[in-house]
């Protein structure tokens, strides 16, 4: 256990990526909780460039950035637990990485914009962007899964981890703004995947419930409003 430590909080979807990967590998580790709004000396020392979570510490050596951490875990422990996370085929690995970049660069910012929306018009625009992104991911799931349970086919793979970390953030956002974002009628494939992913043994062990995520979202929303008001003055 002392070999592997993880700096962060399970309420962060990016930290959750590392936690799911560690759970899939059935590895023991110590979670070093960071307090919201604070940065510990260990975090600043371990990630002096970006100064943010998550940071994996393995044999006292820090590894930063969630995507890098998940790939590191997969490379260091290739056969542990549920097996490989990255697809064996190079082309499929490239697609999983591409859609992960899309989630981080385009889709998640639209979900954040939804939480920051101050008017009904801004809220409606953000909802449209979030749902448009989910529709693209629904199409990607159909192609990548080839009719099977996960983006990785029969098993949870890289994109399942990298996008699945947001599964309960979607549910919490739906409760926050009283709008259905990932509905079964228009996105049946992705909706079914989200249900299966949440119920996966390795995911259930670490995934915070949507109620806790909702509480955290409300704290974030209050901070965003305060910051926006301060910027206007």
pLDDT digits (tens, 9 = 90+) for 169-216: 999 999 999 999 999 999 999 999 999 999 999 999 999 999 999 999
Is pLDDT of 231 > 60?
A: yes
pLDDT at position 1? 44
Task: Give the pLDDT score at 226.
Answer: 87
Rg (CA), the chain: 18
Rounded to the nearest 10 degrees, the angle between the axes of helix 66-76 and helix 13-24 is: 10
At 75-113, the pLDDT tens digits run 999 999 999 999 999 999 999 999 999 999 999 999 999
Of 170, 152, 182, 14, which is closest to residue 89 (Cα–Cα)?
152
The per-residue pLDDT for 86 is 98
188-208: string of b/e by CB count within 10 Å (b at 16+)? ebbbebbeebbebebbeebbb
Query: 74, 62, 75, 86: which is closest to 5 by C-alpha?
Result: 62
**Rounded (10°) CA dihedral 175, 208, 166, 100:** 180
Domains of the chain: 4-76 (3.40.30.10), 90-214 (1.20.1050.10)
Contact 44, 226 (CB under 8 A): no
Average pLDDT over residues 135-163: 98
pLDDT at 121 over 50: yes
What digits encode the pLDDT tens for the residues 14-58? 999 999 999 999 999 999 999 999 999 999 999 999 999 999 999
Helical axes 120-145 vs 167-177, angle rounded to 10°: 150
pLDDT score recorded for residue 21? 98
Task: Answer whether residue 2 shows pLDDT above 70.
Answer: no
pTM surpassing 0.75? yes
What was the pLDDT predicted at 227?
86
């Amino acid at each position: 256990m002392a070999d592997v430590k993880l700096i962060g909080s399970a309420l962060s979807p990016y930290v959750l990526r590392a936690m799911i990967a560690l759970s899939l590998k059935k590895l023991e580790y110590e979670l070093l909780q960071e307090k919201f709004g604070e940065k510990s000396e260990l975090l600043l020392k371990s990630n002096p460039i970006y100064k943010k979570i998550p940071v994996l510490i393995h044999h006292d050596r820090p590894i930063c950035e969630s995507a890098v951490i998940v790939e590191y875990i997969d490379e260091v422990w290739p056969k542990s637990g549920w097996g490989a996370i990255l697809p064996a085929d190079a082309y499929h690995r490239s697609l999983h990485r591409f859609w992960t970049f899309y989630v981080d660069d385009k889709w998640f910012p639209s979900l954040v914009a939804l939480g920051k929306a101050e008017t009904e018009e801004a809220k409606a625009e953000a909802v449209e962007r979030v749902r448009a992104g989910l529709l693209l991911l629904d199409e990607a799931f159909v192609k990548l899964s080839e009719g099977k349970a996960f983006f990785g086919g029969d098993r949870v793979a890289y994109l399942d981890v990298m996008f699945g970390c947001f599964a309960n953030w979607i549910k919490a956002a739906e409760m926050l703004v009283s709008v259905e974002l990932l509905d079964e009628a228009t996105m049946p494939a992705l909706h079914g995947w989200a249900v299966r992913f949440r119920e996966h043994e390795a995911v259930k062990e670490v995934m915070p419930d949507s109620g806790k995520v909702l509480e955290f979202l409300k704290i974030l929303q209050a901070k965003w409003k305060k910051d926006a008001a301060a910027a206007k003055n």
